[in-house]
Amino acid sequence: MRDQWERRSQGEGSKGQRYYDWTWFEVTLSGQRPADGFAHHLLIRRSTKKKQLAGGRVDYEYAYFLVHHRRESALPEAVRRAGVRWKIEENNEAAKQITGLGQYQVRRWNSGHRHVTCAMLALAFLAVQRAQHPDPEVDAPPPGTAEQADNTGKIWQSKEEGDCRSSA
C-alpha cells in the first residue's frame, strides 16, 4: 500500500483544482489507542512533479497528516478533510489583516488569550454581517449580460436578450 499513489484534488485553489498524489496506511501510536470504530492512519501528500528543493536536490515535495477517523472512511474522504486546512489558513490570514489578530504584545497568557478571543469574535461577527448583507456591487450581474434594474425599480432586458421593453 505504501507505493500505491492516487492522484486526487485537494479542492479548489486560486489557480483551479489542486492535484496531488496521495497514499495512506494504518499506523499504531505508542500509548494512544483509537476510539472504538476509529483508526489512526498516516496520510501522505506528494507533489505531482519533482521540484528543485533546498540544497539543490530535485525530488517530490511531501506533506504528512496523522488522521484519526472512522474505520469505514476511504481515502477520498481523508483527502477532502485535509483540504479544509487550506481554508483554515485563509481564515487566520483574514483575521490577521481585518481584526489585528497578530498585532499584540503581551506578557501574560491571560492577556494574549483575551486578545485572540476578541479578534476571533470580531471576525465571526463580520462574517455573519457579510453573509446577511451582501455587497450589491459584487453580487450584481455585469452590465449588458442579464436583466438590469433602472433607478425606478423597473427591470429591463439587456439588448442582447430582447428589445429593451419593460418587463415589469
- Give the tens place of pLDDT for each residue, 13-45: 778 888 999 999 899 999 999 999 999 999 999
Instruction: Report how many domains make up the chain.
Output: 2
Query: Are residues 106 and 81 part of one domain?
Result: no
Is there a domain that residue 1 lies in? no
Is there a domain that residue 56 lies in? yes
Among 89, 123, 153, which residue terminates a domain? 89
DSSP state of 56: G
Is there a domain that residue 163 lies in? no
pTM of the model: 0.56
Query: Are residues 14 and 82 part of one domain?
Result: yes
Which of these, 95, 78, 72, lies nearest to 11 by C-alpha position? 78
Query: Are residues 55 and 13 part of one domain?
Result: yes
Give per-residue pLDDT as tens, 105-115: 888 989 889 99
Is there a domain that residue 14 lies in? yes
Is there a domain that residue 148 lies in? no
Give per-residue pLDDT as tens, 96-152: 888 888 888 888 989 889 998 999 899 999 989 989 998 777 655 555 555 444 444
Give alpha helix (H) positions in the chain: 75-99, 109-132, 136-139
Show the domain range for 115.
Answer: 100-134
